Amino acid sequence: MTQRTVDRRGFLKAGTAVLAGTLVVPLLADDGTSAASLGAPMGDYGQPSPFAPARREGIGAHPQGPGAGASSTPLQLLNGTVTPNSLHFERHHSGIPQIDPARHTLTLYGDVHQPLQFSYEDLLAYPLETHLYFLECSGNSYRNTLPDAQDATAGALNGLVSGAEWTGVPLHYLLAEAGIKPRAKWLIAEGADASANTRSVPLSIALDNVMVALYQNGEPLRPSQGFPMRLFVPGCEGNVSIKWLTAIKLQAEPAYTREETSKYTDLLEDGRAEMFSLRMAVKSLITTPSGRMTLPRQGVVEISGLAWSGHGSIAKVEVSADAGRSWVTAQLQSEPGPLRLTRFRLPWRWQGAPAILQSRALDDQGNLQPSRDAALARYSPMGFYHYNGIQSWQVNAAGEVKNVYV
Ligand SMILES: Nc1nc2c(c(=O)[nH]1)N[C@H]1C(S)=C(S)[C@@H](COP(=O)(O)O)O[C@H]1N2
Ligand SMILES: [Mo]
């Protein structure tokens, strides 16, 4: 606490000095353009400034099936905790279907008293709920499980995660309406794309906080995020949040689909395999400064990043500038809450010496983000899902920032 106050005071003093410099910049640029001249006309759809372009990155498609692949959120170009829909990471197993909501239905069947079918319009008539949640692919950060540290941006390395405000119909309304038979313990969710990315979710989770999401950050879902409707399973690996949701079946057992046997099963170090390990572990990373950036000057730099946990809320984030030998508690700057991204900040004085920056998060269930070695040790050397090891950024004497393993 004391440490934080001292740091913030130091930061503010230095910040004033920096600001005084910028005030001498003339208000009218040389070419005569200023806020006082006539600007561009109105537009029917907003676009980002050409001076602040942001693009998804790390777009990787499967050589034998270009519809299968992923693109990453450029975490290092964004701030706050909400990912703009245009930059929300994508992960598709067979491309993005264009679905006319008038021709799409959601069927609820299996171990229910009354099978039901809902149109998009039907669902819009239910009481909706809105929540901020993170969404993370279980393959996020897999590049940091590779033997050599990849020289890449925070987004390309760790950008299969997003934060958004999701609005939808709480699933328990629909299940209650259909009437759950006592033997039903699992739901099997199926999408309308060709991928058969069908997943089983225990009813204990499904009845808790799962929704059929219809809106994302205030607008109808984008096609790449599952328009017209997706299952949204907060805190759990992204692949159970089935996009283009078209059927939910209740049954006594999981379906053991291809995705949950051949892929999203995690082989452990001791040879056993973890199935339905759905919760995403506690994790954080510094997004500024981060990979491939260069510090513009010596002096005070604001360290800032994101933390989240599939087990609850973020309780604390600590930052180290000496590869984990000493830690300082960062300020949690966004409204804390369960299963959502939390923004942390900490001013840091950089005086030109090489440094290794790290962050580690603790959630309110007592889970602490592990070192890279400890995170890797949980799984077989072949495994790369659910990696949550500490991200290390090396700052060299020139201020260049690079992904490193320590
Ligand atoms: N129907 C369907 N749902 C799907 C997928 C898919 O390919 N098809 N991909 C899953 C995976 S692996 C992830 S990580 C999330 C990604 O959601 P996003 O593309 O909205 O970021 O969707 C999941 N839901
Ligand atoms: Mo995923």
pLDDT digit of tens for each residue in the chain (406 aa)? 334 433 444 433 444 334 333 444 444 445 555 568 999 999 999 999 999 999 999 899 888 887 889 999 999 999 999 999 999 999 999 999 999 999 999 999 999 999 999 999 999 999 999 999 999 999 999 999 999 999 999 999 999 999 999 999 999 999 999 999 999 999 999 999 998 889 999 999 999 999 999 999 999 999 999 999 999 999 999 999 999 999 999 999 999 998 888 888 888 888 888 889 999 999 999 999 999 999 999 999 999 999 999 999 999 999 999 999 999 999 999 888 999 999 999 999 999 999 999 999 999 999 999 999 999 998 888 888 999 999 999 999 999 999 999 9
If one residue of 91, 193, 240 were mutated to test the ligand 1 pocket, choosing by the most ligand atoms within 8 A of its CB, it would be 91
- The amino acid present at 168, given as its one-letter code, is G
At residue 357, the pLDDT reads 98
3-state SS, residue 137: coil
Q: Which two tokens stand for residue 256?
A: 């053991």
Contact 186, 201 (CB under 8 A): yes
CATH fold group of domain 101-274: Sulfite Oxidase; Chain A, domain 2 (3.90.420)
At residue 383, the pLDDT reads 82
Pairing relationship of beta strands 245-251 and 105-110 according to DSSP bridges = parallel
CATH fold group of domain 283-404: Immunoglobulin-like (2.60.40)
Cβ-based neighbour number of residue 190 at 10 Å: 21
β-strand partners of 322: 356
CA angle 55, 59, 61 (to 5 degrees): 155
At residue 33, the pLDDT reads 55
Nearest CA to ligand 1 atom 21: 90
If one residue of 93, 212, 244, 248 were mutated to test the ligand 1 pocket, choosing by the most ligand atoms within 8 A of its CB, it would be 93
3-state SS, residue 260: helix
Contact 193, 97 (CB under 8 A): yes
* Eight-state DSSP code of residue 2: H
Is the CB of 90 inside a 6 Å radius of any atom of ligand 1?
Answer: yes
Is the CB of 402 inside a 6 Å radius of any atom of ligand 1?
Answer: no
Largest separation between any pair of C-alpha atoms in the chain: 75
At residue 30, the pLDDT reads 52
Atom of ligand 1 nearest to the CA of 225: 20
Contact 399, 288 (CB under 8 A): no
Distance 238 CA to ligand 2 centre (A): 5
Atom of ligand 1 nearest to the CA of 92: 7
Alpha-carbon distance of 271 to 193, in angstroms, equals 34
Distance 283 CA to ligand 1 centre (A): 20
Domain ranges of the chain: 101-274, 283-404
At residue 382, the pLDDT reads 81
Distance 169 CA to ligand 2 centre (A): 23
Is the CB of 372 inside a 6 Å radius of any atom of ligand 1?
Answer: no
Cis peptide before 289 (omega within 30 of 0): yes
* Domain 101-274 matches domain 283-404 at the CATH topology level: no
Q: Which two tokens stand for residue 71?
A: 């693109």
At residue 34, the pLDDT reads 59
Distance 135 CA to ligand 1 centre (A): 10
